[in-house]
Amino acid sequence: MVDFQIRLRRRGITAAEILDDIRRVASARGAETVTRLEYDQYGQFGATTVIRNFGTWNAAVQAAGLSRSTRQDILNDELFQNLASVWTNLGKQPFSRHMSDSSAGSKFSTGTYEKRFGSWNGALIAFADYLNGTFPASTSLSEDGSYASSVKSKRTARDVNWRLRAKVLIRDACICKMCGDSPAKNPEAKMHVDHIVPWTKGGETVEDNLQTLCAVCNIGKSDLMT
C-alpha cells in the first residue's frame, strides 16, 4: 500500500506567523534579508500569501525587521546572463514561471525583469536584441560577441564569452550535435560550446565555427575536427 503524503492548504494564516517565518528563512540562510525568490524556495507559506497580506514583498520584509531585498544596482548584463543560464539549464526558452523554479537556477525573479523591461515579453525581446548587438542601439559588437574595437585583433580569443555561448546554445536549441542529448530530455545533461575547427588548429572563436556538444561528447572529441 502506498503511503501518500498529503499537504492541505492552511486557512487563516496570521501576519505574525508570516513574519516569524520570513525571519526564520533569513536566519537559516545567515542573511540580513530574504528575496521573494528565496522565500518561494524555503518559506512555509509562499511569497504570494505574503504579498496578499502585506501588499508588497518589501513591505513584509520591512515589517519583519529586515532590510529591503530589492537591489537597485542590477546591471542589464547581469539580468541577461542570468536569463541565458536559465535557458541553458532548461534546454528551452524559459517562461516567466521558470524564474521562480529552483531547479532552473535563476538568481532574479520575474518581477525584476518586468520592472526593468515592462513585461516578461519585453525582457525576452531585449535579451534577443542584446545577443544580436542591437541593445542598446549605440552598442556595437564584433563577430565573437565582444565590444567592437577600433583596432581589430589578429585572432579571436580561445575562450567563448557568455553572450556568444548563449547565441550558439539557443541557435542549436541546446541539443548536442553529436548524440542529440539535451537538458530538455535529460536534466543531468551539461552542454558545452565547442570549436568545430579546433582553436589549436587555427579555428576562430566565431559563431560559424562553434557548435553545441554535451559534456560527454565534447570530452570524447577532444581537439579532433567533426
Q: Which residues pair with 214 in a beta bridge?
A: 191
DSSP code for 32: S
pLDDT bucket at 226, cuts 50 / 70 / 90: low
Average pLDDT over residues 179-188: 94
- The Cα–Cα gap between 82 and 172 comes to 19
- The Cα–Cα gap between 108 and 101 comes to 11
**pLDDT at position 224 over 70:** no
The average confidence (pLDDT) of the chain is 83
The reported pLDDT for the residue numbered 9 is 58
Residue 67 vs residue 102, higher pLDDT: 67
**pLDDT at position 143 over 90:** no
The reported pLDDT for the residue numbered 100 is 74
Cis peptide, bond prior to residue 136, ω within 30 of zero: yes
Average pLDDT over residues 37-43: 84
Instruction: Lowest mean pLDDT of 95-99, 165-169, 188-192, name the range.
Output: 95-99
Average pLDDT over residues 49-76: 81
